Amino acid sequence: MINPFKKTFTAQEHNMFVFLAKIRLFSDLNYKQMSLFLPFMYERKYEQNEVVFFRGDPSHALYLLKKGEVSLNIDVNEDFESLTRVRAGVALGESCLLKDANRQLNAFVSSETAEFYVIPQDNIFDIFESNLKIKVKMLESLAEIYNEYNSNLFKAYKSSRGFFHLSQVYRG
């Protein structure tokens, strides 16, 4: 039996859900939960070599890469050390899910252009405040992402024979 009161979504909304479901932070959310973010997803286009954000900037928005390629790097003294390049379907600036967080990396557009959906942190926090299940699912995904980063850091540390002291990472 068909429920006449069940929310239906447009083809465009469905396409957005398919896009969001591929992004780790949203992958555990259902369509109804994802739909709460749609009104706050602002499209933004960047040109090659344009800065998306700098390390140390306040983390006030989540960037969902829709099209293009972005280089993630860290500044070491006067140089920028490239860490990776990411393509469409990736979230950047996931630290915005945490209060008072700053960017850890620099993000520059490496393709001719890049298109993003940008979700302001205030809107994310408003959704979290009224939807605890969404907050829990997204923060669990964030914890998994950060755990993977730590695992990769330890592997790199071991393979480089400890060119720095890990105690530097864990200073409180």
CATH of the domain at 72: 2.60.120.10
Measured distance CA(88)–CA(109) in Å, rounded: 12
**Is the residue at 162 inside a domain?**
no
- Round the average pLDDT of the chain to a whole number and report it: 89
- Long-range (24+ apart) CB contacts under 8 A made by 3-11 are 7/32, 7/35, 9/35
pLDDT bucket at 106, cuts 50 / 70 / 90: very high
**Is the residue at 157 inside a domain?**
no
Structural domain of 44: 11-151
pLDDT bucket at 126, cuts 50 / 70 / 90: very high
**Is the residue at 169 inside a domain?**
no
| Residue 164 confidence (pLDDT) above 80 | no
**Is the residue at 168 inside a domain?**
no
**Is the residue at 166 inside a domain?**
no
pLDDT bucket at 80, cuts 50 / 70 / 90: confident
Tokens for 51, please give them: 């800065």
Number of structural domains found in the chain: 1
Beta bridge partners of 44: 116
Assess contact for 124 and 61: CB atoms under 8 A.
Answer: no
Assess contact for 18 and 89: CB atoms under 8 A.
Answer: no
**Is the residue at 43 inside a domain?**
yes
* Phi, psi (degrees; rounded to nearest 5) at 89: 95, 15
* Phi, psi (degrees; rounded to nearest 5) at 144: -65, -40
Arithmetic mean of pLDDT, 45-73: 96
**Is the residue at 53 inside a domain?**
yes
SS3 163: coil
**Is the residue at 16 inside a domain?**
yes
